[in-house]
Chain A
Amino acid sequence: MYFSNILLNFDNDAAMINLPFVKASDRFNINSQLEHLQAKYVGTGHADLNRFEWAVNIQRDSYASYIGHYPMLAYFSLAENESIGRERYNFMQKMLLPCGLPPAERDDD
């Protein structure tokens, strides 16, 4: 609901002109464009993003970065006195539920 409000504001706004590839006829398409971005780039936010989803994304990105940067992985494994291979596996496993269980759905009016 909130999201569509933003879109309505775009209608006669200067911001509309700045958006590339958007013609007047495509204006119902902006929704699909955002969706396209969200589908293509994991972690692209949207107006209804809640605190949990945001945190999950950040955590997954962090773990991916720790795994990608080998020195960092080594640094963690020194602290925990585990082998680097085990540390990498643990981080991969933690990417499943990085912030615990999602909160129960609430009906936001």
Chain B
Amino acid sequence: MKASLDGSNQSGEKMAAMDELPLVLVHALPPFEISFKGRLQSRFQLIDSLDSTFAPHVSVLLCVGPSPVSSDTLRHLPSLQCIVGSSAGVDHIDLAECRRRGITVTNAGPSFCEDGADFAIGLLIDVLRRISAADRYVRAGLWPMKGDYPLGSKLGGKRVGIVGLGNIGSEIAKRLVAFGCRIAYNSRNKKSSVSFPYYANICNLAANSDILIICCALTKETHHLINKDVMTALGKEGVIINVGRGALINEKELVQCLEQGQIRGAGLDVFENEPDVPKELFELENVVLSPHKAIATPESFASLQELIVGNLEAFFSNKPLLSPVNLE
């Protein structure tokens, strides 16, 4: 059993007086950990185990990375009122149980949206213009030997379908307008403040797009949202970029479509069973693969840290949370 963070071991835990620092359970399954424990320890009393004698009194859980918060986890925490998440996605949290118990959930809010958008666009231009493949070609010494690299495809004028027009999707749309792309989107609901064409049906969006960029939340409804039908509707010249969650796409069908040339190519930051990547993809020149790092810059993590501290402080001072997730 790991030592609790006040330095004493489990059997010698000190009971916190009610007027000491507020209690926060740091829920971090290995290998996930937070880099700013010191900063938190100056304002909060941290415990790190569901079996701690303090667990029944804990009102806030800080969820580190995708450490799962299941109904079993929640059963250990009868006083829990809030889960402060540290990622854009909340698919690792039993939201139905949170809804039932009235537990609020926060996520990374806008911390990651610029970097996520930048990376999605980097992946997109890479797939269309074959950047990684051409860089490999040069590094292998093939330019003097085999001559010019095969032509890519122009981005300007292409129709981009954004699946999920949230924080990240909006930033992607804003950037792509400057490249001369035509934007349309699919979302749970039409956004009245947005002028881009809305498609309620994902196959219709695909049929009217050259490119699909997947950046929506993973839920029961969106699991395997992108399947063979959607890819067929997208067509042989179509490109798929995924910076959401691996399970948004039926990975087996994606691999088949790519192998058979049913779509032009794909840029993938996420996979169904990370860090495992279907080995068939390693044989393909028309995919760009990334190890789930679209949002990983020092700036986004600094911004996340501020947000997490801000959410914790807002909770304990009864102020509105900074980045609450709508659980409906």
A and B: interacting chains = no
Binding site for B on A (CB under 8 A): none
